[in-house]
Amino acid sequence: MSDHQNLQQWVERSLPRQFLTSTAPQLYPLSGDAGFRRYFRVNCTPSLLAVSAPPEHENNEAFVRIAALLKRGGVRTPRIYAVDYPQGFLLLEDFGDQLLLPLLSPETADRFYRKAEDTLLVLQGVPLADSGLAVYDRQRLLDEMRLFPEWFLKQLLGLDITTEDSRLIEQTFEQLVTSALSQPEVIVHRDFHSRNLMLLADGDMGVIDFQDAVRGPLTYDLVSLLRDCYIRWPAEYVSRRALNYYRRVVATGVADTVPDSQFLRWFDLMGLQRHIKVLGIFARLWLRDGKPGYLADLPLVLHYTLEQLTPYPELHDFKSWFERRVMPLVQIQHWYQKNRPCR
């Protein structure tokens, strides 16, 4: 019996009474994400989502536990109606199809980013005590960034990394980790961006793909939102929104006041850590997992990386190295020539 047939039969057995109809439920496939999960819309009223998330690849226990944690804190996460851990099947509330990303334009950005920031304020206000979340510690931050030399530089670009290259890369990584660990600690979604936020029918902002949440730096989710890998805004607009959000965070008591320059340094260097990691992840998604769609997003991530290096003299050696050793190899790639962002 196929996985789809197993899921179909499990849904028929697990469908709550209020969703039952006179005919057997049908499952209609939806587009997936960067992971191994597959999604199907169940044609009951109202519709539900059936998810096949192989337990050897996806942490479904964490998904269920963190969904409950965030929901208790006031974050709108999908209600879970049924779960089968051994098979990796879940039956969830259907949030619909309206991602934040296609709603964003210069005319709508202020309104929708305010809603997203309201949601982030709630998320960051969820108490850390007894959360059971792993800590975004030094080793985890470093391990993420080390995907960059392995998958982006060596595997994708074919760069022959010298001992001198490795030394500079590791020195830079240590600077970024030190900045990250100096920040106030909050719950971190780790992928809080326009493809994981949904505008619901009742006007609320729904949050998905939260199963990798950890305890970590204050600015991580904010920079994920405002320096989104899938949409670009003027640097001045991003900085203004970041500082306005920080003042709101301080007002809630989640963080103490620091100079604006200190907060923006946290924000920028956190963005560097994330985007260096993402370069490695997007390369791996293509080379290991056969998912080429993320190659088109690499030019914007590279733009962010160079942009965030520029203001900080202590990172200029890495910036010069990046421009001298990495960018010539980037500029001959088909995915860069086709999708290169305008200055």
**Mean pLDDT across the stretch 3-7?**
83
d(CA 242, CA 255): 14
* pTM for the structure as a whole: 0.94
| Helix segments in 73-196, DSSP class H | 109-124, 138-145, 147, 163-181
Biggest distance spanned by C-alpha atoms of the chain: 69
d(CA 298, CA 45): 40
Confirm if 227 and 238 have CB atoms less than 8 A apart. yes
Asked whether residue 163 falls in the same domain as residue 46, the answer is no
Which one of 93, 120, 141 terminates a domain? Answer: 93
Per-residue pLDDT tens over the stretch 137-184: 999 999 999 999 999 999 999 999 999 999 999 999 999 999 999 999
What CATH number has the domain bearing residue 260?
Answer: 3.90.1200.10
Which position has the token pair 């969830």? 92
Q: Is the pLDDT at 34 greater than 90, yes or no?
A: no
Q: Residue 41's closest CA among 50, 33, 32?
A: 50
Per-residue pLDDT tens over the stretch 209-255: 999 999 999 999 999 999 999 999 999 999 999 999 999 999 999 99
Which pLDDT value is given to residue 340? 72
Q: Residue 48's closest CA among 24, 70, 28?
A: 28
**Residues whose CB is less than 8 angstroms from the CB of residue 60 and which lie 6 or more positions away in sequence, other chains included:** 53, 83, 85, 88, 90, 211
pLDDT tier for residue 130 given thresholds of 50, 70 and 90:
confident
Return the percentage of the chain with pLDDT > 70, whole number. Answer: 96
The helix/strand/coil state of 288 is coil
The one-letter amino acid code at 18 reads Q
Asked whether residue 163 falls in the same domain as residue 116, the answer is yes
Strands 27-30 and 48-52 come out as unpaired
Asked whether residue 298 falls in the same domain as residue 164, the answer is yes
Asked whether residue 77 falls in the same domain as residue 137, the answer is no
Domain of 48? 3-93
Asked whether residue 146 falls in the same domain as residue 82, the answer is no
Asked whether residue 88 falls in the same domain as residue 109, the answer is no
Asked whether residue 146 falls in the same domain as residue 39, the answer is no
**Average pLDDT for the chain:** 94
**Mean pLDDT across the stretch 87-109?**
97
Confirm if 44 and 21 have CB atoms less than 8 A apart. yes
d(CA 329, CA 119): 40
Which one of 34, 61, 93 terminates a domain? Answer: 93
Q: Is the pLDDT at 2 greater than 80, yes or no?
A: no
Asked whether residue 217 falls in the same domain as residue 318, the answer is yes
Which one of 37, 64, 93 terminates a domain? Answer: 93
Per-residue pLDDT tens over the stretch 289-340: 999 999 999 999 999 999 999 999 999 999 999 999 999 999 999 999 877 7
Q: Residue 238's closest CA among 315, 341, 322, 307?
A: 307
Structure tokens at 157: 């670009």
Asked whether residue 53 falls in the same domain as residue 130, the answer is no
Strands 48-52 and 205-207 come out as unpaired
Asked whether residue 142 falls in the same domain as residue 249, the answer is yes
Asked whether residue 195 falls in the same domain as residue 298, the answer is yes
Q: Is the pLDDT at 32 greater than 90, yes or no?
A: no
Q: Phi and psi for 204 in degrees, rounded to 5?
A: -70, 165
What CATH number has the domain bearing residue 30?
Answer: 3.30.200
Q: Residue 51's closest CA among 17, 16, 101, 10?
A: 10
How many domains are there within the chain? 2
Asked whether residue 12 falls in the same domain as residue 121, the answer is no
Question: From start to end of the chain, where are the E strands?
Answer: 27-30, 38-42, 48-52, 80-84, 89-93, 185-188, 197-199, 205-207, 214-217
